[in-house]
């Protein structure tokens, strides 16, 4: 199934970004969002994203004009064979939307949820038959960052998770399969672990918030954009590979792990982080920082693409 007709339920930052990517791939996109500003904001987002998507070679078959807006979720999913759900992460809202769209879905339609904090099992309880529902959790912004975490389970229809991954990959995404339900899935837990230690280092006065961020993007973050930490460490001890690395650094890492902190986001910690981030920004506005982030991600994606072929 080529999923020529898609729908996006919820048109915040995530939903608008998905809509831009689906349009770029040559699909039509039907959008539902109850906000009266949703249409104008989504069209503006697509217009802003389109030059970047073109630069990345993703708009060859697409047009930003294949976009429609609807006054109900049921109307938006009518005739769509792939639905990306991005409504607020409150179970009551998710369940209400699922109950509305379930009778209106086309036969064989897939509904992928962008949920980051809710589990698939929690969301499935909002369905009479949850066979069409899968987890399709992106990283923000979805039209630029390739990762999507895909998960189905015993209540998901046969082949639905595989078809979801195939669709995402056909529009340029990189998918991983989540095979066990845990809060936060995979990538969010990885970045939460790193941020926890970053906060601990700042609270202990080891370095400033800005310098800790700099240590990441100028050091391991650069390597991790090429390959993950286990693969990187497998190259860190010469021809002996990961076994030699672990033999050499076993006690070192065990000592570091024992010494790592467990801070919490209480009011004092949040104030420290906000003040530290403001100092590091040095007057750069939010919009300028956002544009700078997206520009750097775009350049990295362009540079890395030849090396990712077939990966």
Sorted by where each begins, the domain ranges of the chain are: 5-177, 187-308
Question: Tell me, what's the pLDDT at 3?
Answer: 84
Measured over the CA atoms of residue 105, residue 108, residue 112 and residue 113, the dihedral's sign is positive
Give the CA-trace dihedral at 185, 166, 27, 103, to 10 degrees: -70
Question: Tell me, what's the pLDDT at 48?
Answer: 94
- Beta carbons of 292 and 286 less than 8 angstroms apart: no
Class of domain 187-308: mainly alpha
Q: Is the pTM of this model over 0.75?
A: yes
Q: Of 125, 221, 120, whose CA–CA distance to 177 is shortest? A: 120
Print pLDDT tens along the chain (311 aa). 778 999 999 999 999 999 999 999 999 999 999 999 999 999 999 999 999 999 999 999 899 999 999 999 999 999 999 999 999 999 999 999 999 999 999 999 999 999 999 999 999 999 999 999 999 999 999 999 999 999 999 999 999 999 999 999 999 999 999 999 999 999 999 999 999 999 999 999 999 999 999 999 999 999 999 999 999 999 988 899 999 999 999 999 999 999 999 999 999 999 999 999 999 998 999 999 988 998 999 999 888 888 876 55
At the fourth CATH level, the homologous superfamily of domain 5-177 is NAD(P)-binding Rossmann-like Domain (3.40.50.720)
Give me 94's structure tokens. Answer: 């998710």
- C-alpha distances in angstroms, 235 versus 70, 216, 228, 243, 252? 52, 19, 11, 10, 17
- Beta carbons of 97 and 87 less than 8 angstroms apart: yes
Give me 146's structure tokens. Answer: 């390739």
**CB-based contacts of 58: which residues, under 8 Å, 6+ apart?**
21, 24, 25, 143, 171, 172
Give me 42's structure tokens. Answer: 């989504």
Question: Tell me, what's the pLDDT at 309?
Answer: 65
């Amino acid at each position: 199934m080529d999923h020529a007709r898609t729908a996006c339920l919820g048109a915040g930052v995530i939903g608008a970004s998905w809509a831009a990517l689906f349009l770029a791939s040559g699909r039509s996109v039907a959008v539902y969002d109850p906000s009266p500003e949703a249409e104008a904001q989504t069209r503006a987002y697509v217009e802003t994203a389109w030059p970047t998507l073109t630069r990345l070679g993703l708009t060859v078959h697409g047009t930003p004009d294949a976009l429609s807006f609807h006054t109900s979720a049921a109307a938006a999913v009518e005739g769509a064979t792939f639905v990306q759900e991005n409504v607020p992460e409150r179970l009551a809202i998710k369940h209400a939307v699922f109950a509305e769209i379930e009778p209106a879905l086309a036969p064989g339609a897939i509904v992928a949820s962008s949920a980051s904090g809710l589990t698939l099992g929690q969301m499935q309880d909002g369905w009479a038959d949850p066979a069409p529902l899968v987890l399709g959790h992106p990283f923000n912004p979805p039209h630029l960052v390739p990762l999507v975490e895909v998960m189905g389970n015993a209540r998901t229809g046969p082949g639905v998770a595989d078809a979801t991954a195939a669709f995402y990959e056909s529009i340029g995404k990189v998918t991983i399969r989540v095979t066990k339900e845990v809060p936060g899935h995979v990538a969010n837990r990885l970045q939460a672990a790193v941020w926890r230690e970053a906060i601990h280092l700042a609270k202990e006065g080891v370095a400033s918030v800005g310098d800790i961020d700099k240590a990441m993007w100028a050091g391991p973050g650069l390597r991790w954009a090429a390959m993950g930490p286990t693969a990187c460490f497998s190259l860190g001890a010469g021809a002996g590979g990961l076994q030699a690395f672990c033999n050499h650094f076993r006690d070192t890492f065990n000592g570091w792990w024992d010494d790592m902190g467990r801070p919490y986001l209480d009011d004092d910690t949040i104030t420290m982080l906000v003040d530290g981030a403001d100092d590091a920004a040095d007057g750069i506005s939010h919009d300028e920082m956002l544009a700078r982030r997206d520009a750097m991600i775009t350049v990295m994606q362009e540079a890395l693409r030849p090396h990712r072929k077939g990966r």
